[in-house]
Amino acid sequence: MLTDFKHATKLILVLSAFAISSSVANSQLLPDDERHIRWHQEESVSAFHRGTGPAPVTVATKEIEQSERLMTLDEAIRLTLQHSEVIRVLTGVSAVSSGQTIYDTAIATTPIDQAKALFDPVFSANSSFRHNEFPGLNPLGTAIINSQTGGNDTSVGLNDLNTFGGILNLGVANAWDNQMVAGFLNRRAPSASLSYTQPLLAGFGREANTAPIVIARLQQEKSYFQFKDSMQELVRGTISAYWSLVQARTELWAREKQEEQLRQGLELSQAKLRAGTGDAGNVAQAKQAYANIRANLIAARANVLQREAALRNMIGLPPEDEGRIVPSTPPTRDQIQFVWEEINQTAQSRRPDLIELNLILMADQKRLIQNRNLAQPQLNAVALQQWNGLSGRVLNGNRLTSGLDENNSWTMGINFSVPLSLRQSRALVRNQELLISKDRANIQQNLHRVEHLLATSVRSVDQNFLQYEAFRDARQASKENLEFQAAQVRNNRRTVFLNFLQGVSDWGNAVASEAQTLAAYNTELAGLELQTGTILETHGIRFVEEQFASMGPHGRCFEDECYPRDLNPQGNQLRYQDSGKAAEDAFDLNDFPRLRKEKLELPQEFEDRNLPQLDSAE
């Protein structure tokens, strides 16, 4: 007795010391009040860095030798897919993260297993030792004596929920007492039980109980189509950035030719003024035009650098790598016709955002089934079968034993409970019904929106193509006009010099507008594929599920299992032509009028043989 008391006293002292030390530590780590604003040092948090590449080239950079890298549109898309862990969206001359990654869909599969875990059997085992002491009177009532009891309680159970809502429980227990209890010394009371509870109203039904699994699967599909939608925008952004670079390089060429023409015009007007055959007004106008075109040329060069930077950003390359990207895929000049009914039906069935809205509706319909199920009264059928045993020594020293099969108990019955108003559960049903109406309205609105987007896209396709044809004709007309005006100037005709300057401007603007509208036409073709939800399929892009080994449901003691890791886009089929040269060459960049020629002649219809002509040196 004294020994037990000493052991107990030591245990209490040890626990008290541990509690005091833990309290002191907590008081140091968790002060009563936060009286200061705290933050990490920036260097200690910024743990991830990447190497710095070459400084970016600007319009102020001195001439340096840089290699050129011909790149087809197919290669640009392929590079984009290779660097698409985080999906980017083109915004003007930059690219920003869409928030979507290749890991999102794999992450969305984990809630499915979490929902399934509700139906996993649950094993439990408990064992506790007890020791109790109570003061009491002796049988004679003359002294207070110490009464002790002690023992062990052990139980093992298995609990399982099935998809109909029923709960099966299997349990085995044993209570052991080392003192006198109910006339027994060292009593053991083993027992076994088997019970089943089946909901008959609320909680009943496979559809209602498996709804969380179905909803989790719908959420995973929703994540997939969100990812697909962002991938479609990534491909369209790459195509748009590519054609924008083609257009910018073509416009730069036109501005360079304008600068060359206006510089020659300025030199010629100055030479004529010095020879006494010119006009000071022409020199002033030429100076102004030349200064303006130099400013436009700087802007055109900067635009090329910015458009190339946007393409680099989209395809995952650094801002600078000591080389220039030169697109080599020429834009298509073929007018493509579309059947309105076909593209409308394709968009309604293939657009990821519309599919996502339908998945939201399906998930809400499953939630409605759940809420309607829970809006019923609670009516459960219960059944219990129990086997009880008892063994131990009695006061006379004999040992008595009763087996588990000798004392059987059973219980069967019905449990019923219901809130008198069911206000909360019925409000949840009404809320879910309204959400479903909202989902259907959103689907109809988005179908309406998609139809308008398709109509806008079709209009833009036709507009850009027809404008391209018009600007192509305007370029030819401005070229003829400029050739005439240049011949007038070369041949010293007494004409308005401003007409020549205006001709240079009109020709350069026509070339830039032709390139702009043709690039916009090709971009809008990709935009129309985006609107119909088919841009990935038309480019032969597919997704591959990558897996990795991780701890399975059986724990670390078993072999790891394979689970989804990401959805990685793999490759794209060749679709675009590779010209093997700069894409802007498709605009016939050698076809431009020159102010100085070896032989100075006017077109036949403008020829006047009575006026003297200047030689090329003038």
For the cut 50, the answer to whether the pLDDT of residue 66 exceeds it is yes
> pLDDT tens digits for 21-37?
666 555 555 556 778 88
Cβ contact 324:305 at 8 Å: no
**Mean pLDDT calculated for residue range 324-330:** 94
**Mean pLDDT calculated for residue range 587-602:** 58
Domain that includes residue 596, residue range: 67-110+212-362+434-606
DSSP alpha helices (H): ranges in 491-552? Answer: 497-532, 535-538
Assess if residue 280 is contained within a domain. Answer: yes
Angstrom distance (rounded) from CA 270 to CA 263: 11
> pLDDT tens digits for 470-519?
999 999 998 888 888 888 777 766 556 788 888 889 999 999 999 999 99
> pLDDT tens digits for 556-578?
788 888 999 999 998 889 999 99
Please tell me the predicted confidence (pLDDT) of residue 156.
95
Please tell me the predicted confidence (pLDDT) of residue 180.
63
What SS3 class is residue 561? strand
Assess if residue 483 is contained within a domain. Answer: yes
Instruction: Supply the DSSP string of 422-474, one letter for each residue.
Output: -HHHHHHHHHHHHHHHHHHHHHHHHHHHHHHHHHHHHHHHHHHHHHHHHHHHH
Average predicted confidence (pLDDT) for the chain: 86
Please tell me the predicted confidence (pLDDT) of residue 7.
58
Please tell me the predicted confidence (pLDDT) of residue 589.
74
What is the sign, positive or negative, of the torsion defined by CA atoms of 483, 487, 489, 490? positive
Angle at 283 between CA 280 and CA 284, to 5 degrees: 90
**Mean pLDDT calculated for residue range 126-134:** 85
For the cut 90, the answer to whether the pLDDT of residue 343 exceeds it is yes
Percent of the chain with pLDDT over 90: 56
**Mean pLDDT calculated for residue range 232-239:** 96
> pLDDT tens digits for 360-392?
999 999 999 999 999 999 999 999 999 988 887
Assess if residue 371 is contained within a domain. Answer: no
Assess if residue 105 is contained within a domain. Answer: yes
Q: What is the CATH number of the domain that holds 294?
A: 1.20.1600.10
Angstrom distance (rounded) from CA 534 to CA 228: 11
Residue-wise burial string across 224-248, b where 16 or more C-beta atoms lie within 10 A, e elsewhere: bbbbbbbbbbbbbbbbbbbbbbbbb
Which tokens hold the place of 31?
A: 């002060």
In total, how many domains does the chain have? 1
**Mean pLDDT calculated for residue range 331-345:** 93
Identify the DSSP state of 181.
Answer: B
Dihedral pair phi/psi, residue 584, rounded to 5°: -70, -15
Percent of the chain with pLDDT over 70: 88
**Mean pLDDT calculated for residue range 340-367:** 95
Assess if residue 170 is contained within a domain. Answer: no
Residue-wise burial string across 43-67, b where 16 or more C-beta atoms lie within 10 A, e elsewhere: eeeeeeeeeeeeeebeeeeeeeeee
Please tell me the predicted confidence (pLDDT) of residue 4.
53
Please tell me the predicted confidence (pLDDT) of residue 95.
87
| Nearest alpha carbon to residue 231 among 537, 577, 449 | 537
Angstrom distance (rounded) from CA 526 to CA 505: 32
> pLDDT tens digits for 427-461?
999 999 999 999 999 999 999 999 999 999 999 99
Instruction: Supply the DSSP string of 237-291, one letter for each residue.
Output: HHHHHHHHHHHHHHHHHHHHHHHHHHHHHHHHHHHHHHHTSS-HHHHHHHHHHHH
For the cut 70, the answer to whether the pLDDT of residue 594 exceeds it is no
Assess if residue 385 is contained within a domain. Answer: no
Assess if residue 376 is contained within a domain. Answer: no
